[in-house]
Amino acid sequence: MSELPILTSYIDGHFINSDTHFDNINPVNGQTVARISEATPKMIEDAVISARAAQDSTWGKMTVNERCALLHKVADRMAEREEEFITAEITDTGKSLFQVKTIDIPRGTANFRFFADLAKFNSGETFITDTPTGDKALNYSVNKPLGVVGVISPWNLPLLLATWKIAPAMACGNSVILKPSEETSSTAFLLAKVMDEVGIPKGAFNLILGRGSAVGDALTSHHGIDAITFTGASSTGKQIMRSVAERVKPISFELGGKNSAIVFADADLNKAIKGVTRSSFTNCGQVCLCTEKVYVHRSLFDAFIQGLKREAEQIKIGYPKDKDVFIGPLVSKVHQQKVLSYYQLAKNEGATFVTGGGVPKFNDERDMGCFIEPTIITGLSDDARVNQEEIFGPICHVSPFDDEDEVIERVNNTDYGLAASVWTENISRAHRVSPQLDVGLVWVNTWFLRDLRAPFGGVKLSGIGREGGKHSLAFYSEPVNICVHI
């Protein structure tokens, strides 16, 4: 058997192995494809020292134009190595080639280009102030980097979500220490290679690999880290909040969701069925924005269920690179067991299964993987656990509703508040309902259509703050106000 590749951390411009390794598993067939070297406490310490040194010398001293030219080179090199990024992402996650090729990897590259261009416009504010003595003062602010930013990213859109934070943080002049999910380290490792190849000064970008409870916690609690930007589960967000409290570090949190779709009586039924199929089952339900609850006006309920069932049953599940495959497996056995436990809970809570509920059988190596059936259920109350807890798999519960106020109240009946989608052909209704939903993002007659300039984030348990466009620049910089008596 050939030697398995080893993915290592990247610290102070060097790829560094350690004595502790764990397996990187391909969720398509359960095979080990690489070994991941877990960063030691000393390596984390070295990463922080190196990131700080880059602030005080190279990266921190560059002009915004010099920095952003280098970040464009990162994007160029990522584009040149696109096939390797695609293969790495598919091997770690099992997601379909179509998705990786059209979303994950191009968006990763686009994040660097977009924020490299935007950071040049990171201007401050000016005010002429009248003083009590009749003089004037000039107040102006300048934006400085925060310093060393810890980036902690999840496994569901690994490269896309890591670069969504790394790119603006670096464009604003910060040094970054990235801790990707232990489930999906491969594209982060490749990104470190790219940073090295294009000549990002040592220490400006560091990668530390390892498990959240060990490496992630050591990073967030380190006194040398100036801010933490985190995407992941709400429960992990709570732990990180405790850990940064000691130093009152700035945090940006993009957390879990329990997102609803509302299909009004005046919706284009076909469009809504196709849209909800996509919003419930894309990436095997593993997008924080995925729909897990669907409210359908009673007049359309039966037709909608029939249509959604038909679409769900036509979804092609299989090898990520096979033609027309829409979804591959879930990310891991642990996650498959978690989602299956919710399928079981739905049964225990009395749900009716319209389709799905189990594991597909292939009679080949894929039966050792983490596949799962797209599932539609009905018949549960809004307070059922299945309708309150984030499942993060390809499952949605569909309920009927009768009027607008009722459905708004039901959609808002959750501790989460990330996203919602509204399906209606009535433009007044769309504008009336959308702002009444307690979420950070509403899509009308579409889903997951993103503009990198627009604010992105959630309320309640779904997060703190917004990223995207000027919101990212605001988080990753520290404004200093200077007041000059004239």
Residues known to be catalytic: 254, 288
* Shortest Å distance, C-beta 466 to ligand NAD: 11
- The rounded distance, in Å, linking the Cα atoms of 263 and 421 is 9
413 binds ligand NAD (CB under 6 A): no
Whose Cβ is closer to ligand NAD: residue 256's or residue 469's?
256
Token pair 């809970």 in the structure block, residue: 345
The radius of gyration computed from the CA coordinates of the chain, to the nearest angstrom, equals: 23
What binding mask, one character per residue, do residues 331-360 give for ligand NAD by CB under 6 A, x or -? Answer: ------------------------------
182 binds ligand NAD (CB under 6 A): yes
| Residue 38 contacts residue 21 (beta carbons within 8 Å) | yes
Burial of residue 66, with CB atoms counted within 10 A of its CB: 0-12 exposed, 13-18 middle, 19 or more buried? exposed
* Shortest Å distance, C-beta 475 to ligand NAD: 14
Token pair 């299909």 in the structure block, residue: 263
For residue 221, CA distances in Å to 1, 240, 308, 476 come to 41, 8, 46, 19
Give the binding range for ligand NAD (CB under 6 A) out of 54-62, 215-223, 393-401, 470-478.
215-223
Whose Cβ is closer to ligand NAD: residue 226's or residue 311's?
226
* Shortest Å distance, C-beta 124 to ligand NAD: 28
239 binds ligand NAD (CB under 6 A): yes
Tell me which of 108, 145, 201, 232 binds ligand NAD, using CB under 6 A: 232
Tell me which of 24, 29, 99, 156 binds ligand NAD, using CB under 6 A: 156
82 binds ligand NAD (CB under 6 A): no
Q: What is the sign, positive or negative, of the torsion defined by CA atoms of 73, 79, 83, 86?
A: positive
For residue 79, CA distances in Å to 72, 110, 159 come to 11, 10, 13
256 binds ligand NAD (CB under 6 A): yes
152 binds ligand NAD (CB under 6 A): yes
Tell me which of 68, 172, 194, 255 binds ligand NAD, using CB under 6 A: 255
- The rounded distance, in Å, linking the Cα atoms of 114 and 468 is 10
How far the first Cα of the chain sits from its last, in Å, is 76
Tell me which of 27, 158, 216, 468 binds ligand NAD, using CB under 6 A: 216
**Which of 82, 81, 227, 93 minimizes the C-alpha distance to 158?**
93
Q: Report 454-473 residues binding ligand NAD (CB under 6 A).
A: 458, 462-463
48 binds ligand NAD (CB under 6 A): no
* Shortest Å distance, C-beta 60 to ligand NAD: 25
291 binds ligand NAD (CB under 6 A): no
- Kind and range of the H or E element at 160? helix 158-171
217 binds ligand NAD (CB under 6 A): yes
Tell me which of 79, 233, 269, 345 binds ligand NAD, using CB under 6 A: 233
Using CB under 6 A as the binding criterion, the count of chain residues that bind ligand NAD stands at: 33
**Which of 162, 201, 199, 252 minimizes the C-alpha distance to 60?**
201
**Which of 228, 278, 263, 266 minimizes the C-alpha distance to 248?**
228
Give the binding range for ligand NAD (CB under 6 A) out of 126-134, 176-184, 269-277, 311-319.
176-184
The number of residues making up the chain comes to 486
Give the binding range for ligand NAD (CB under 6 A) out of 93-101, 174-182, 273-281, 371-379.
174-182
Tell me which of 39, 159, 418, 452 binds ligand NAD, using CB under 6 A: 418
**Which of 225, 219, 171 minimizes the C-alpha distance to 52?**
225
212 binds ligand NAD (CB under 6 A): yes
* Shortest Å distance, C-beta 207 to ligand NAD: 12
| Residue 434 contacts residue 422 (beta carbons within 8 Å) | yes
- The rounded distance, in Å, linking the Cα atoms of 305 and 276 is 11
Q: Report 381-400 residues binding ligand NAD (CB under 6 A).
A: 390, 392
- The rounded distance, in Å, linking the Cα atoms of 158 and 248 is 28
179 binds ligand NAD (CB under 6 A): yes
Sheet of 31-37, strands arranged across: 6-7, 31-37, 21-26
284 binds ligand NAD (CB under 6 A): no
Question: Which stretches of the chain bind ligand NAD, using CB under 6 A?
Answer: 152-156, 161, 179-182, 211-213, 216-217, 220, 231-233, 236, 239-240, 254-257, 288, 390, 392, 418, 458, 462-463
